[in-house]
């Protein structure tokens, strides 16, 4: 349940913010737009092991240690750049004339994005959501560092906790790993068509 709450909340918030960010970078014209895209990519490439200590200090200063909110906020710092970069590639493949036609008919820019762009970009949005959920569900290092209360630990930390000293209860560990993979497998199965088409379309410019 802890993993489900953290992964679901992080996914919804990440997709909402990254959709707006990707739209702004791709469709709007403003000073420094190219640098914003580069910074997003650079942030996505930063390894977690490099910044988990500064993140831990920030979480402690905000009195969020040993809370699920600490994981949600820190996961957003990684998932938003990833989802934004993925959606930027997908939005570039959608003709801007579709939105311009909607705005000529009376839609605002936001209305054209919601009513025209997002339905067309649904495969890319679903692909970003699936990968964001999977990353949050499987994350181990931050969950281990930020959460020490047993009742708030997530699935990967609980599985690692089944190893005591040099004793490996392989039967229980493998059973737990299999059960923990079921939600992700179900999501991939339900969104398989959107996932494949979203990745294929978002990976090509033009």
Q: Which residue has the higher pLDDT, 187 or 167?
A: 187
pLDDT computed for residue 4 by the predictor: 92
pLDDT computed for residue 19 by the predictor: 92
CA atoms within 13 A on the CB side of 151: 0
pLDDT computed for residue 206 by the predictor: 44
Q: Provide the CATH topology of domain 2-202.
A: MetI-like fold (1.10.3720)
pLDDT computed for residue 202 by the predictor: 45
The dihedral built from the CA positions of residue 169, 185, 2 and 139, taken in this order, carries a sign that is positive
Per residue in 151-172, pLDDT tens?
889 999 988 888 877 777 888 8
Band of the pLDDT at 124, cuts 50, 70, 90? Answer: confident
pLDDT computed for residue 197 by the predictor: 55
HEC letters along 140-162: CHHHHHHCCCHHHCCHHHHHHHC
């Amino acid at each position: 349940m802890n993993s489900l709450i953290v992964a679901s909340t992080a996914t919804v918030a990440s997709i909402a913010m990254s959709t707006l960010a990707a739209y702004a970078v791709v469709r709007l014209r403003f000073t420094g737009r190219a640098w914003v895209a580069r910074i997003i990519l650079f942030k996505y490439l930063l390894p977690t092991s490099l910044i988990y200590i500064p993140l831990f200090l920030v979480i402690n200063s905000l009195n969020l240690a040993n809370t699920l909110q600490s994981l949600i906020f820190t996961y957003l710092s990684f998932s938003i750049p990833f989802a934004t970069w993925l959606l930027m590639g997908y939005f570039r493949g959608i003709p801007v004339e579709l939105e311009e036609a909607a705005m000529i008919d009376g839609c605002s820019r936001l209305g054209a994005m919601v009513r025209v762009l997002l339905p067309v970009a649904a495969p890319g949005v679903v692909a970003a959501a699936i990968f964001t959920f999977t990353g949050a569900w499987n994350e181990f290092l931050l969950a281990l560092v930020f959460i020490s209360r047993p009742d708030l630990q997530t699935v990967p930390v609980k599985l690692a906790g089944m190893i005591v000293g040099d004793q490996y209860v392989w039967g229980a560990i493998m059973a737990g790993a299999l059960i923990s993979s079921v939600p992700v497998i179900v999501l991939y199965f339900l969104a398989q068509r959107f996932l494949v088409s979203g990745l294929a379309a978002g990976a090509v410019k033009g």
